[in-house]
Chain A
Amino acid sequence: DAGVTQSPTHLIKTRGQQVTLRCSPKSGHDTVSWYQQALGQGPQFIFQYYEEEERQRGNFPDRFSGHQFPNYSSELNVNALLLGDSALYLCASSLVLTDTEAFFGQGTRLTVV
């Protein structure tokens, strides 16, 4: 079992650009959540996807958007990047019917310059 996989592991972008991060959930999982972790802080919930729909959203602007595909994988898109978007982006997967815990990927480190 490969667990939750994220790509790429590191990314450097320029202010104003757009970025897409990818996540493949743990085998058998159908729900994907995205978190942003700024340096020295705990992860903050961005949004969650289930059945290709956004179920809940945290306190993040519309520049952050996502998508879930029929195979349950997911993308996080961030438009008009700001320096403050520099962070570790974590993906977590779970199974909605027996939702006791989520499993996290290794994250994508995004640096905006």
Chain B
Amino acid sequence: KQEVTQIPAALSVPEGENLVLNCSFTDSAIYNLQWFRQDPGKGLTSLLLIQSSQREQTSGRLNASLDKSSGRSTLYIAASQPGDSATYLCAVRRTTSGTYKYIFGTGTRLKVLA
């Protein structure tokens, strides 16, 4: 059974710091891995998607890496800003009988202090 774990559960940093969020998964047979941002009480905003054949993806100040063999992904946020404060969710997508579904971690709650 696929399980996704995110460490740390919460993080508080001063503005300007570079930070790393970690995600681990137990089964390497994934279709892709995706990082989402969620503001309180809101839906999910996709940040980065990494296909299983890729090693990393970058978007602006965000960089996500994927190591399938070790079952790990990291989300790197450069020069953090108060507007980055949110919960960050990692999800792996896998297929079962042709149906794709996401399996999510419990998230990392990030607070960036001004």
Residues on A lying within 8 angstroms of B by beta carbon are: 6, 33, 35, 40-45, 48, 55-56, 58, 88, 90, 92, 94, 99-107, 109
**Is B93 touching A101 in the complex (CB atoms < 8 A)?**
yes
Q: Mark B68-112, 1 if CB is under 8 A from A, else 0.
A: 000000000000000000000101010011111111111100000
Would you call the interface of chain B mostly helix, strand, loop, or mixed? strand
A35 to B38, CA, bound (A): 14
How near does chain B come to A14, taking the closest CB pair, in angstroms? 22
Contact A100 B102 (CB under 8 A): no
Contact B101 A48 (CB under 8 A): yes
Measured between beta carbons, the chain B residues less than 8 angstroms from A103 are 46
Could you give 14 example pairs across A and B, Cβ below 8 Å?
A42-B91, A43-B104, A45-B102, A55-B98, A56-B97, A56-B99, A56-B101, A58-B101, A90-B43, A100-B32, A101-B93, A104-B36, A104-B44, A104-B46
B residues adjacent to A (C-beta < 8 A): 4, 32, 34, 36, 41-46, 49, 51, 89, 91, 93, 96-107
Q: Is the pair B100, A41 in contact by a Cβ cutoff of 8 Å?
A: no
Q: Which residue of A lies closest to B96 (CB)?
A: A56
Nearest-Cβ distance from residue A54 to partner chain B, whole angstroms: 10
The 8 Å CB contact of B43, one of A44, A48, A106, is A106
Q: How far is the CA of A88 from the CA of B32 in the complex (A)?
A: 24
Whether B41 pairs with A90 at a CB distance below 8 angstroms is: no
Q: Of B45, B51, B99, which contacts A100 at CB under 8 A?
A: B51
Q: List chain A residues, Cβ under 8 A from B91.
A: 42-43
| CB <8 Å contact, A101 and B34 | yes
Whether A99 contacts B102 by the Cβ 8 Å rule is no
Report chain A residues within 8 Å CB of B98. Answer: 55
Chain A residues with CB under 8 A of B97: 56
A45 touches B101 (CB 8 A): yes
Residues of B within 8 A of A102 (CB): 100, 102
In the assembled complex, which residues on chain A have CB atoms less than 8 Å from the CB atom of B32? Answer: 100-101
